[in-house]
Amino acid sequence: MATCGEVLVKLLENYGVDHVFGIPGVHTVELYRGLAGSTIRHITPRHEQGAGFMADGFARTRGKPGVCFIITGPGMTNITTAMGQAYADSIPMLVISSVQSRNALGGGRGKLHELPNQGALVSGVAAFSHTLMSADDLPAVLARAFAVFEGARPRPVHIEIPLDVLVEDADHLLGCEPVHIARAGAAPGPVASMAALLAAARRPLILAGGGAIDAGAALARLAEHLQAPVALTINAKGVLASGHPLLIGSTQSLVATRALVREADVVLAIGTELAETDYDVTFKGGFEIPGTLLRIDIDPDQCVRNYPPRVALVADAEQAAQALLLALAEQPAPPREGEWGAARAARLRDTLASEWDAATRAQTLFLDSVLQTLPDAVLVGDSTQPVYTGNLTLDLDQPRRWFNASTGYGTLGYALPAAMGAWLGSAEQADRRLPAVCLIGDGGLQFTLPELASAVEAQVPLIVLLWNNQGYEEIKKYMVNRAIEPVGVDIHTPDFIGVAKALGCAAEAASGVAQLREALLRAHQRSGPSLIEVDQAAWMQAVQPC
């Protein structure tokens, strides 16, 4: 007899799942019955929040959902922060948990790990939460979950399985096949309307977000046809290569870039929420789109949020860009202004480069040193100063290589477990995965520091770049700027190198470009994780003037 838990593992395999993140518990052992004999690799974090962040990082590099097995009660409360981060950034994540037996649901009898309504608890950070009341319903609910991941705006999905359902006989479900669906194509009417407006534009502009992450080639051709400068959100970095003449980076919060957006007479926003954390990281308002706005998004609701459009199209970003290219080919040559397009984008880049202060240049040098040493690295960031800087100054040549928790939901501690997941999820090249670099501050690292032990155990050659400024410096600046006496921001800084070594990692300090590059090369040769500590004050002193 194959139980529901065993069949679940088999069905996940059929959907292409090859990694699961979780911590076995008394209420989830039946989920593990079929795991040992499967092709799925299990990764054990040190906290369920870490499991969620690992699944998030895995999904961002793999482009497919990260999967978690989580216990009832405290396991689910622990993972909700990670689900919130994935929800905010539209990341596919499948969280499968246990729950009390059907006759005890909501009973309030003091059962182990009992919550009054576990599904309600997580419903705000999930596309949906479903309680599996019969093993027979398992194929249908999995199909529904993967329909969200593949055909809609991807977000976390939670499936909870009562303890008595987990052990039900489910032999008859072993032959169930996965259900795959295609994303919505581009409707001809809105495409024609958009093409007409774009063809007549003298100063077109494109704003592309994470929803366009797989539409890079079509988007580049569209931008080149229109001679439209392109701004990318942080999650879309690399959709246009760093040297593309129409790229204006991810600087929509800066005065000079906002001025360019205001000059545009037609703006195409594709796969972007047009939300505060990409377009107003100073939180002072002032981002405006006075020109005609066209919006393309997989989510109908999002098409009209924040900035209502003249024309909206609900469609897959790549299919929509392709359809626009075909429609524009039938339009007359666009009447572009001579100083628009690449010329205007170049002027903006020059203006921004001249305005970076010494701290920004020093932190950009820090990031450039990483990429010059490990040019194919995936950089996974936390809320820390070099990451804030990189969001503005750094451009990549491929997507899925720069993502972080400094925007959107904005949780601390994300980068360490997410970078571990990113390495596990990255496409293999020449018998190896892409190097994964965690960019994290001393405050954020203390949130998830035990996950270094997970990386040691799983033999993940993660490189943790610790930017140490001895506290929550960014928050301290906010307090000082608002005439608030700093409280709670000057926290104790442990001996991170000693702690990392105690957890089984290699660890060393580096200051200056040469030391950093040598440390990175040593770390890259190891089979396990490494921590490289960079003291902010020492780095600034070593690289000045820069």
Distance CA 418, CA 48 (A): 13
The predicted pLDDT at position 187 comes to: 94
The predicted pLDDT at position 545 comes to: 66
User: What does the block give as tokens for 356?
Assistant: 């970076």
| Helices 415-425 and 451-458: angle between axes, nearest 10 degrees | 20
Q: Strand 506-509 and strand 530-535: pairing?
A: parallel
Name residue 116's amino acid: P
> What is the CB neighbour count within 10 angstroms for residue 138?
22
Distance CA 27, CA 45 (A): 17
Name residue 462's amino acid: L
User: What does the block give as tokens for 156?
Assistant: 């976390």
Distance CA 405, CA 339 (A): 37
Q: Looking at 107-235, which runs of residues are DSSP E strands?
A: 128-131, 156-162, 204-208, 230-232
**Which has the closest alpha carbon to 213: 112, 75, 334, 92?**
92
3-state secondary structure of 34: coil
Q: Would you give the DSSP letter of residue 72?
A: T
Q: Contact 417/54 with Cβ under 8 angstroms? A: yes
Predicted model pTM: 0.95
Distance CA 412, CA 384 (A): 9
Q: Cis ω on the peptide bond leading into residue 545 (within 30° of 0)?
A: yes
Distance CA 50, CA 73 (A): 16
Q: Contact 31/8 with Cβ under 8 angstroms? A: yes
3-state secondary structure of 152: coil
Distance CA 397, CA 316 (A): 22
Domains of the chain, CATH where assigned: 4-173 (3.40.50.970), 188-352 (3.40.50.1220), 357-543 (3.40.50.970)
Q: Contact 174/10 with Cβ under 8 angstroms? A: yes
Q: Contact 162/105 with Cβ under 8 angstroms? A: yes
Q: In what order do the strands lie in the sheet with 156-162?
A: 41-43, 19-22, 66-70, 93-99, 156-162, 128-131
The phi and psi torsions of 114 (rounded to 5 degrees) equal -75, 135
Q: Contacts by 303-307 with C-beta closer than 8 Å and gap 24+?
A: 305/273, 305/274, 306/273, 306/274, 306/275, 307/269, 307/274
**Angle ∠(164,167,173) on CA atoms, nearest 5:** 120
Name residue 102's amino acid: R
Going by C-beta distance under 8 Å and a sequence separation of 6 or more, which residues neighbour residue 262?
288, 289, 290, 291
3-state secondary structure of 397: coil
Along the 546 residues of the chain, how does pLDDT read in single tens digits? Answer: 899 999 999 999 999 999 999 999 988 999 999 998 899 999 999 999 999 999 999 999 999 999 999 999 999 999 999 999 999 999 999 999 999 878 878 788 877 787 888 999 999 999 999 999 999 999 999 999 999 999 999 999 999 999 999 999 999 999 999 999 999 899 999 999 999 999 999 999 999 999 999 999 999 999 999 999 999 999 999 999 999 999 999 999 999 999 999 999 999 999 999 998 888 876 778 899 999 999 999 999 999 999 999 999 999 999 999 999 999 998 887 777 788 999 999 999 999 999 999 999 999 999 999 999 999 999 999 999 999 999 999 999 999 999 999 988 989 999 999 999 999 999 765 466 889 999 999 999 999 999 999 999 999 999 999 999 988 888 888 889 889 998 988 889 999 999 999 999 999 999 999 999 999 999 999 999 999 999 998 999 888 765
- Would you say the C-alpha torsion 273, 278, 283, 286 has a positive or negative sign? negative
Q: Contact 504/451 with Cβ under 8 angstroms? A: no
Q: Where are the alpha helices (DSSP H) in 427-495?
A: 442-448, 451-458, 473-481
Q: Contact 507/501 with Cβ under 8 angstroms? A: yes
Distance CA 226, CA 236 (A): 20
Distance CA 92, CA 56 (A): 7
Q: Contact 98/31 with Cβ under 8 angstroms? A: yes
Q: Contact 422/58 with Cβ under 8 angstroms? A: yes
Name residue 363's amino acid: Q
Q: Which of left, alpha, beta for 115 (phi over 0: left; psi -120 to 50: alpha)?
A: beta
Going by C-beta distance under 8 Å and a sequence separation of 6 or more, which residues neighbour residue 110?
none
Query: Got the DSSP string for 513-533?
Result: HHHHHHHHHHHHT-SS-EEEE
Residue with tokens 């980068």: 415
3-state secondary structure of 295: strand
- Would you say the C-alpha torsion 49, 52, 58, 63 has a positive or negative sign? negative
Terminal Cα distance for the chain, rounded: 68
Q: Contact 511/542 with Cβ under 8 angstroms? A: yes
Distance CA 211, CA 316 (A): 8
User: What does the block give as tokens for 339?
Assistant: 């100083």
**Which has the closest alpha carbon to 536: 490, 486, 478, 469?**
469
